[in-house]
Structure formats: C-alpha cells, structure tokens
C-alpha cells in the first residue's frame, strides 16, 4: 500500500506542517507496510526537497510550472489526484491547514475517497481503518471508520512531535498536463503579516482577554510573546471590539489551536473559548479572580493582577533564556 | 444574483457534550439547536447584502430531518427568501455534499456559500466537495467577498497572512469572520418566516464513505497547580523543568 502525502511549500520552503504530514504518512506507511511518496507543487530547490527525506519520504514527486506558483484548489487537487492514480496510492495525507482544507474535499470527490479532516492521531488499522479527530470544537473526539477503498486524512497541525528518521528521498520530476479549464481562481496579491508566527503553527501562544482593559495594554503581551518566541491570540470580545485583529480570535467560533503552551491572560475561560484551546498540552492561566472558570481547565495558574504578573513573568523568562 | 447558502443545524455553543449507547451516540436530550454560526453570521448575511446591493434571490438549503425546520425558519427570519430541506439524516459529509450539489445542479446558482466549518463535526469540507461535484472554483476560509458584476474578489486567510483572490461566477466559497456582521432577526422577519416557502425534497442514493464508530471525551485535567503572584520565577521553573515547554 502506498501513501501519498502533499507537502505544501510557501516561497520555496516547506512548512512545519508539511514535515508533520510527511512524518505522519511515513509512520502510517510502516503500519500498512507501504512506502511514502511526497508531492511538492511549485518552485522548490532540490536541497529543500531533500529535507522531506529526513522525515520519512521515500520518493518526492516534484511538479513545477509557472501557473502553479500561486494556489488554486482546482488545479492543485487535479495534480495530486493524478499522481495518486499513477502511483497507485490509495491513502492520501495532507495538512488540515488553510490550503489543505480547500484541497482535501476536492480530492475526496475526485478519488471517491472517504475523508477524515483534522485527524489528531495515527489511524487504527487493526481490522477496519479508524481515524480519531476532534469534534464539537474541541469538546470531544470521534473515531471515524473510513469504509471506501481510497482514503484521505488531513492532519491537524501540531498533532505529531517532529523527529527525524533519515531516509534518503529519490527526487523525481513529474509532469501533469493542465489546461486553462483546470484553473478557477487568480491570486492577485499575497499579504504576509511579517515576522509573525502563524497561530495554527505556533508551539507557544500568549493570549489576552477583556481583562486587559484596552488595546493600549497589549505591549506587555507582545513583549512576553517575543521573549518566548510565541504567537499571540485573543478571546472573541477582544477581536470583536477591534482591540486585536480578527485572525487572533481563538475558540469555538475562531481558530482552534493546539500549541504546547497556552498562556491565557485576563480571560475568564468561557466554554466557547475553552473549546478552541483545550487541545493545548500545557495551559497557564493568569487571572485576578480565583473563581475564574479557566483555572479548572489549567495546568498552572497565578491568581493576580495581570499588569503586575506579566512584566515579572517576562523578566523571569529573559533570565532563564540568558542562563 | 441567484445565491444558495448551505446551512447546518448544530448544538448551541454552550452545550455540554455527552454521549449515550456506550459512547456511540451524541446525547441530544436537553440540547438547544441553532444555525451553525459561520453559516448564519457570515455566509447568510453576506448573501443578503449582495442581494440587497444588486438584486437576486437567497435560498437556504439544509440536509436534515423534519425536526430541523425550526432552525431553517430562523434563517428565513434573518432574511432568506426561501428554503429547501433535503429530507435525510446528514450522517456523512460526502453524502450531504452530494445532496446539495444535486439540487444546485438543477437550479443553477451563481454563488454557493457555506460557513468555514460546522461547530459540531468541524469538517470544513462541504463547500470544497460541492465545488468539485459541480466543477466550480472554490475559495475557502474567505474573510471578505466583494462582487463587481460577475467578478468576485475575496480576501482569504492563509498561514501568517492573507491572499487576495479573484474568480467569476459561478463559484463556491466558505465564509468566516470578517465577511459580514451578525444580524438579529426582528419581529417582522420572524412573522414573515412563517409563510416563506420551505420546500422538502427527497434525497438521492449515495453510499457512505465514513461512519462514526465511537466518541470519547477528553481526559479530565488534574488539579491546577497554583503559583503565588509574588513568586513568578517558580512558574518559569515549572514550565521549564516539569512541563518542559520552554
Ligand atoms: C455563539 C457564541 C460563540 C462564542 N465563541 C467564542 C470564541 O470562539 N472564543 C471566545 O473567546 N469567546 C467566544 N464567545 C464568548 C464567550 O462566551 C465569552 O464571552 C468570552 O470568551 C469572554 O472573553 P474574556 O474572557 O476575554 O472576557 P471576560 O469574560 O470579560 O473575562 C475577563 C477576565 O479577565 C479577568 N481580569 C480582569 N482584570 C484583570 C486583571 N487586571 N488581571 C488579571 N485578570 C483580570 C477577569 O477576572 C475575567 O475573568 C462566544 C459566545 C457565543 C454566544
């Protein structure tokens, strides 16, 4: 059984989530005694392509042509589906990230393949093929059985710890015939929020709530995030009031994240907020109200005024980093 | 513009999730159901705004049993012109997408919108499947949609930034925060909703790709370790040596 995995790149570089999918696919390939074939779309140097071997790709199919330099779910899913067919792969793995969410459903239709989106663990392949994913926005998990012959799994970012297993990947240039009808959208502009860590990929996240009183007080949040190398997030009212940009809003109706460390400052811990963050491995809560519900969902907590605690925390982390 | 908005019925966000039958069924007893927030707040409201600006119709479609009609009426109260319910259990994303695509194909819509995902099964797949089934463009996770004649300009989120994307009708897009502001239905809307058309259609046969075999609740957290506010260093020490996250 062959496992085909789409390794997404931006500006010629693979993302952390791509390495996660490669590692996941190669572990799955081992389970089903198969091989791991990675697909790279767009201009990527061979040196970068080689890095996929480090996480377990046996073979890397590289598809590059100018029209594929910007993202279009229609064209990308065609490329991946064609390669899956020609390689005879019947399991496809990709990341449950922004582009993965656009490609996976199209692939599911093209290949008549059952799709589990947002998997958090390796499938259970004893007997039937079962995949675990989060449901009810982080409040529970479901085990899905995929009944179809072809199977697609999109992996939730930050669900597998990266480890190298040094395979040397064979790099093969592949060509897929694409006509104009295979494209549907035109990317006019890409706006990068420079230097910021994408929230879904961040391993450490510092988040602020209404307890911080106003946008002018986010300096200390950003400073703490900076010394940690963390991404910044917020509760919903904070984004609704325009204190912080919309994309920082985490929770049931915002982005769901599962970092290693989530530090919640001045956030009460409403059920809708917890839904999006309770997949975090370690949760720290800083709140002046000892009765704040968030403490029940936390691993560590400080009952105290954020305006006093946060600057001290930043200093203490600076000291740790310096030592 | 002829616009179709896909709406899903989901448990209210405050719902405490529980399962029955040896963790194989979601406990619906005592659960309040709502229109999936992304469908209602962003996809539906933006559809209504486009209709208000350039004319057209807004149809909402739901795949669900008769008990979902109360939720569907809410979408009519907010302002959709008509509703369609495909009379079937929405048990698998592919099944649902096939039903909607089958209806949409007969009616030829210019714009098909969904929410970015449902807050119950968090699939984020229906829109993409419909687009593929109808061979249309698909823009996922759109936080802005502006129509200029037949041309649609989107802002869509990507990791660490945004993309400005253009396409032409017909297309499918999934909507998220930023696209519109939630509307609260008024009395007049609620009254009108009672008499707006709600068509019921029979489902087509589709074999299921997936099935939930069991559910599981997250392991409960142990007790929180509280650190004194005057001893922040201890927290750093715990995070470094015990949790090993920094
Ligand atoms: C349909 C629906 C969907 C929702 N989706 C989301 C979602 O996705 N994400 C989300 O976050 N919310 C969501 N909410 C809102 C949610 O119910 C809460 O209202 C919200 O999370 C509260 O935000 P908060 O904790 O920042 O503010 P508050 O609840 O006002 O809490 C502020 C906290 O700050 C503390 N505080 C005050 N001053 C200080 C200080 N000086 N130092 C330390 N602590 C201090 C207070 O003790 C309090 O606990 C949703 C609500 C609904 C109805």
Co-location of A172 and A224 in the same domain: no
Predicted TM-score (pTM) of this structure: 0.95
Q: What is the domain partition of chain B in residue ranges?
A: 2-218
Nearest partner of A78 among A8, A173, A177, A9, judged by Cα: A177
Q: Residue A305 is part of which domain span?
A: 204-322
pLDDT of residue A198: 84
CB B245 within 8 A of CB B239: yes
Cβ atoms within 10 Å, residue A27:
18
pLDDT tens for A193-249 read 767 788 988 999 999 999 999 999 999 999 999 999 999 999 999 999 999 998 899
Put simply, the chain A residues between 26 and 65 with a CB less than 8 A from any chain B CB are: none
Phi and psi at residue A270, to the nearest 5°: -65, 155
Co-location of A178 and A208 in the same domain: no
Residue A163 inside a domain? The answer is yes
pLDDT tens for A97-137 read 999 999 999 999 999 999 999 999 999 999 999 999 999 99
**How close is the nearest chain B Cα to the Cα of A81, in Å?**
12
Which of the listed residues A131, A152, A182 is the one where a domain comes to its end?
Answer: A182
Residue A174 inside a domain? The answer is yes
Co-location of A129 and A247 in the same domain: no
Co-location of A58 and A165 in the same domain: yes
Q: Tell me: pLDDT of A192 over 90.
A: no
Co-location of A299 and A220 in the same domain: yes
Co-location of A252 and A177 in the same domain: no
Co-location of A244 and A175 in the same domain: no
Distance in Å, CA A242 to ligand 1 centroid: 14
* H or E element in which residue B147 lies: strand B137-148
Cβ atoms within 10 Å, residue A315:
16
Q: How many domains does chain A have?
A: 2
Which residues of chain B are within 8 Å of residue A304 when distances are taken between CB atoms? 229
Distance of CA B157 to the CA centre of its chain: 17
CB B115 within 8 A of CB B174: yes
Q: In A236-292, which residue ranges form alpha helices assigned H by DSSP?
A: 236-240, 271-277
Distance CA B151, CA B132 (A): 20
Q: For chain A, what's the residue count? A: 323
Which of the listed residues A150, A182, A214 is the one where a domain comes to its end?
Answer: A182
* H or E element in which residue A18 lies: helix A16-31
CB A287 within 8 A of CB A303: yes
pLDDT above 70 covers a percentage of chain B that reads 100
pLDDT above 90 covers a percentage of chain B that reads 96
Take residue B67 and report the two structure tokens written for it: 């008990």
Residue A295 inside a domain? The answer is yes
pLDDT of residue B48: 98
pLDDT of residue A287: 98
Co-location of A61 and A9 in the same domain: yes
pLDDT tens for B127-167 read 999 999 999 999 999 999 999 999 999 999 898 889 999 99
Co-location of A31 and A177 in the same domain: yes
pLDDT of residue A167: 82
Q: Tell me: pLDDT of B220 over 90.
A: no
Burial (Cβ within 10 Å: 0-12, 13-18, ≥19) of residue B87: middle
Co-location of A46 and A114 in the same domain: yes
pLDDT of residue A193: 77
Pairwise CB contact (< 8 Å): B246 & A320: yes
pLDDT of residue B56: 98
How many DSSP H helices and E strands does chain B contain?
7, 15
Angle at A231 between CA A225 and CA A233, to 5 degrees: 100
Distance in Å, CA A235 to ligand 1 centroid: 6
Least confident segment among A12-16, A224-228, B93-97, B167-171: A12-16
pLDDT of residue A16: 93
Pairwise CB contact (< 8 Å): B246 & A261: yes
Distance CA A55, CA B211 (A): 31
Nearest partner of A195 among A171, A221, A226, judged by Cα: A226
Q: For chain B, what's the residue count? A: 246
pLDDT tens for A266-279 read 999 999 999 999 99
Take residue B28 and report the two structure tokens written for it: 């619906």
For B132, which of A105, A134, A200 is closest by C-beta distance? A105
Burial (Cβ within 10 Å: 0-12, 13-18, ≥19) of residue A210: middle
Nearest partner of B205 among B95, B130, B127, B131, judged by Cα: B95
CB B158 within 8 A of CB A234: no
Residue A10 inside a domain? The answer is yes
Pairwise CB contact (< 8 Å): B159 & A15: yes
Nearest partner of B53 among B107, B95, B3, judged by Cα: B3
pLDDT tens for A34-67 read 999 999 999 999 999 999 999 999 999 999 999 9
Take residue A151 and report the two structure tokens written for it: 């199977």
**Interface residue A9 vs chain B (CB under 8 A):** no
- In sequence order, what DSSP letters do the residues of B20-59 get, joined into one string? ETTTTEE--TT--EEE-HIIIIIIIHHHHHHHHHH--EEE
Nearest partner of A231 among A211, A212, A259, judged by Cα: A259
pLDDT of residue B9: 98
pLDDT of residue B23: 98
Distance CA B19, CA B39 (A): 25
Q: What is the mean pLDDT of residues B195-224?
A: 95
Chain B residue whose CA is closest to A183: B137
Co-location of A58 and A140 in the same domain: yes
For A145, which of B11, B210, B243 is closest by C-beta distance? B210
The ligand 1 atom nearest the CA atom of A238: 26
Which residues of chain B are within 8 Å of residue A101 when distances are taken between CB atoms? 124-125, 128, 140-141, 174
CB B98 within 8 A of CB B125: no
Pairwise CB contact (< 8 Å): B224 & A272: no
Co-location of A69 and A177 in the same domain: yes
User: Whose structure tokens read 């990929």?
Assistant: A201
The DSSP call for residue B172 is E
Ligand 1: residues with CB < 6 A are A 209-211, 235-238, 251-254, 266-268, 270, 272-273, 276, 286-289, 292, 305-307; B 13, 37
CATH number, position A31: 3.40.50.620
Take residue A29 and report the two structure tokens written for it: 């390939």
Instruction: Please give the mean pLDDT across all residues of chain B.
Output: 97
Instruction: Please give the mean pLDDT across all residues of chain A.
Output: 96
Distance in Å, CA B185 to ligand 1 centroid: 25
**Interface residue B183 vs chain A (CB under 8 A):** no
Residue A192 inside a domain? The answer is no
Which one of B122, B134, B220 makes the best mutation probe of the A interface by having the most chain A beta carbons within 10 Å? B122
B2-218 folds as: Rossmann fold (3.40.50)
Put simply, the chain A residues between 141 and 170 with a CB less than 8 A from any chain B CB are: 141-148
- Sheet arrangement for strand A261-265: A231-234, A204-208, A261-265, A282-287, A300-303, B225-227
Cβ atoms within 10 Å, residue B223:
9
Confidence of residue A68 (pLDDT cuts 50, 70, 90): very high
Cβ atoms within 10 Å, residue B226:
15
pLDDT of residue B160: 80
Handedness of CA B174, B177, B178, B179 (dihedral sign): positive
Residue A198 inside a domain? The answer is no
Q: What is the mean pLDDT of residues B207-218?
A: 96
Which of the listed residues A116, A148, A182 is the one where a domain comes to its end?
Answer: A182
Nearest partner of B81 among B1, B174, B179, B168, judged by Cα: B1
pLDDT of residue A196: 74
């Amino acid at each position: 059984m062959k496992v085909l995995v789409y390794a997404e790149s931006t500006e010629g570089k693979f993302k952390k989530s791509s390495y996660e999918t490669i590692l996941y696919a190669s572990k799955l390939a081992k389970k089903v005694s198969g091989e791991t074939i990675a697909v790279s779309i767009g201009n990527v140097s061979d040196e970068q392509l080689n890095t996929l071997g480090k996480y377990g790709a046996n073979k890397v199919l590289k598809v590059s042509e100018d029209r594929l330099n910007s993202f279009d779910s229609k064209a990308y899913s065609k490329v991946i589906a064609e390669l899956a067919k020609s390689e005879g792969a019947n399991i496809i793995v990709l990341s449950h990230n922004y582009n993965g969410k656009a490609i996976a459903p199209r692939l599911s239709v093209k290949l008549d393949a059952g799709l589990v989106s947002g998997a958090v663990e390796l499938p259970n392949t004893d007997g039937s093929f079962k995949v675990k994913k989060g449901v009810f926005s982080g409040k529970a998990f479901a085990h899905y059985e995929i009944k179809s012959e072809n199977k697609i799994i999109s992996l939730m970012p930050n669900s597998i710890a990266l480890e190298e297993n040094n395979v040397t990947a064979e790099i093969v240039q592949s060509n897929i015939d694409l006509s104009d009808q295979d494209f549907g959208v035109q990317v006019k502009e890409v706006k990068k929020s420079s230097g910021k860590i994408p929230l879904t990929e961040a391993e450490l996240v510092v988040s602020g709530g209404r307890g911080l009183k106003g946008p002018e007080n986010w300096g200390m949040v950003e400073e703490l995030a900076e010394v940690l190398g963390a991404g910044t997030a917020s509760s919903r009212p904070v984004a609704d009031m325009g204190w912080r940009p919309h994309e920082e809003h985490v929770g049931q109706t915002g982005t769901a994240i599962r970092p290693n460390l989530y530090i919640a400052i001045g956030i009460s811990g409403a059920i809708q907020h917890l839904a999006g963050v309770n997949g975090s491995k370690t949760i720290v809560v800083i709140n002046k109200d000892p009765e704040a519900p968030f403490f029940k969902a936390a691993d560590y907590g400080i009952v105290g005024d954020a305006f006093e605690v946060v600057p001290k925390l930043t200093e203490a982390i600076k000291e740790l980093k310096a030592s | 513009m002829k616009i179709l908005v896909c709406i899903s019925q989901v448990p209210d966000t405050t719902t405490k999730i529980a399962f029955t039958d040896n963790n194989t069924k979601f406990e619906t007893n005592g659960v309040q159901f709502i229109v999936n927030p992304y469908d209602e707040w962003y996809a539906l409201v933006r559809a209504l705004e486009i209709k208000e600006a350039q004319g057209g119709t807004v149809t909402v479609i739901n795949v669900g049993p008769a008990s979902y009609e109360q939720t569907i009426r809410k979408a009519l109260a907010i302002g959709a012109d008509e509703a369609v319910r495909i009379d079937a259990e929405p048990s698998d994303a592919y099944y649902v997408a096939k039903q909607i695509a089958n209806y949409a194909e007969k009616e030829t819509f210019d714009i098909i919108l969904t929410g970015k995902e449902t807050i119950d099964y968090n699939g984020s797949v229906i829109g993409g499947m419909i687009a593929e089934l109808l061979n249309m463009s698909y823009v996922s996770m759109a936080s802005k949609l502006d129509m200029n004649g037949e041309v649609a300009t989107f802002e869509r989120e990507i990791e660490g930034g945004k993309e400005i994307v253009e396409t032409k009708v017909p297309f499918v897009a999934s909507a998220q925060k930023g696209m519109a502001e939630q509307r609260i239905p008024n009395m007049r809307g609620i009254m009108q909703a009672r008499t707006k058309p709600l068509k019921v259609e029979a489902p087509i046969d589709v074999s299921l790709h997936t099935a939930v075999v069991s559910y599981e609740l997250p392991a409960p957290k142990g007790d929180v370790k509280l650190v004194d506010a005057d001893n922040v260093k201890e927290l750093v020490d715990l995070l470094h040596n015990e949790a090993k996250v920094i």
